[in-house]
Structure 1
């Protein structure tokens, strides 16, 4: 599935995200449709991880993406994964600036990304257990799972975001899903089983 099929064509017709990003290296106006297509998804990424700073982080991500647009290589992956990679770097820099570490397990107070999970669960009684299980996952498995479940990236796109081979990402996702499935009777978003 192409980016256009997933996100819909912009006002520019049938140009894919990759074509727009390549064109944006020469013509800055080609960058605008990318902002329209992906701002909501990137804002959601930030809002679930750093709610109080989401708007600022989104602005910073677009500024960095615009500045780095000439470095995009379509041969290395989709524009959507590249944009989420930029967003991930912006978020990591934010965490380093604010307290030198990523948020801890749920319930520790600061920018609690797990609150969004609570709001979406059907059964309130499952929420505490799911939050605890997510906190117990190794960070690399948790990040991949959340990129697929929350951001609706494909495992291949999520792999590109975190900079690992697609096969490694699929293995880590399988392990994370298996751990969660063993204890939580829910179908996870983006879960094929």
Structure 2
């Protein structure tokens, strides 16, 4: 699949990200348009994985790196998301321990509305508070590779092809990692549901 076909998400009629980046080479202030277009989604994704404080740092560094390296932007991609998400993914990997601690804390408190929403889609039989804690505990136990794939798809809302581009891995690897991660989550959440039902008796 071509980059244009896979990542053509710029609204019809709007100037492409590629054009904005190219223009910013001569007018650096114009790069602010890339920031305005993509910072909300990128910050939301990073905050779900690391918490708000760490997300602020990751997002700021992502755009700092992107600005410095904008001359290397591939114009075949009209949408800058694969480029930005790849930078962010590399930065998030450096925070693997922080991310794991974040999920373990959520597992103890059971309070996170974002996790609750995703958990409801994974297994609607369990109440939101219980699933939030269970899902966080399960995410903490995933390998870095499996977690990256699962959350880029579930929270980053990327396709298999897009995740492969961001992580630099074959689509087949994306599929196998996602299958493994989903299987682990289903097993963990089912066990949690049984435990919750037994405790309610």
Same fold (TM over 0.5): yes
Give 2:99's match in structure 1, choosing from 97, 100, 103.
103
Considering only CA atoms, is the larger Rg found in Structure 1 or Structure 2? 2
Equivalent residue, structure 2, for 1:160: 165
Q: Distance in 2 between matches of 1:163 and 1:84?
A: 12
Give 1:149's match in structure 2, choosing from 150, 154, 161.
154
Per-residue deviation, 1:129: 2.6
* Conserved 8 A contact 1:158-1:169: yes
Equivalent residue, structure 1, for 2:66: 65
Where do residues 151-190 of structure 1 align in structure 2 (5 Å cutoff)? 151-184=156-189
Give 2:142's match in structure 1, choosing from 117, 137, 143.
137
Give 1:126's match in structure 2, choosing from 123, 126, 131.
131
Aligned length: 171
Judging by fraction of residues, say which structure has more helix. Answer: 2
Runs of at least 5 residues in structure 2 that lack an aligned partner in the other structure: 1-6, 121-126, 191-201
CA RMSD of aligned residues (A): 3.1
Equivalent residue, structure 2, for 1:91: 92
What whole-Å deviation, never above 9, does each CA across 1:3-47 have from its counterpart, x for those lacking one?
21xxx36xxx52222332344334424422211110101111222
Per-residue deviation, 1:157: 1.9
Q: Distance in 2 between matches of 1:3 and 1:76?
A: 10
Per-residue deviation, 1:159: 2.0
Equivalent residue, structure 2, for 1:82: 83
The two structures have a TM-score, normalised by structure 1, of 0.71
**Relative to structure 1, is the Cα distance of residues 177 and 91 closer, same or farther in structure 2, using a 3 angstrom cutoff?**
closer
**Relative to structure 1, is the Cα distance of residues 176 and 90 closer, same or farther in structure 2, using a 3 angstrom cutoff?**
closer
The two structures have a TM-score, normalised by structure 2, of 0.68
Runs of at least 5 residues in structure 1 that lack an aligned partner in the other structure: 186-193
Per-residue deviation, 1:84: 1.0
Per-residue deviation, 1:161: 2.0
Q: Distance in 2 between matches of 1:136 and 1:107?
A: 9
Q: Distance in 1 between matches of 2:187 and 2:133?
A: 15
Q: Distance in 2 between matches of 1:158 and 1:102?
A: 22
Q: Which has the higher contact order (CA 8 A, sep 6+)?
A: 2
1:37 paired with 2:33, answer no
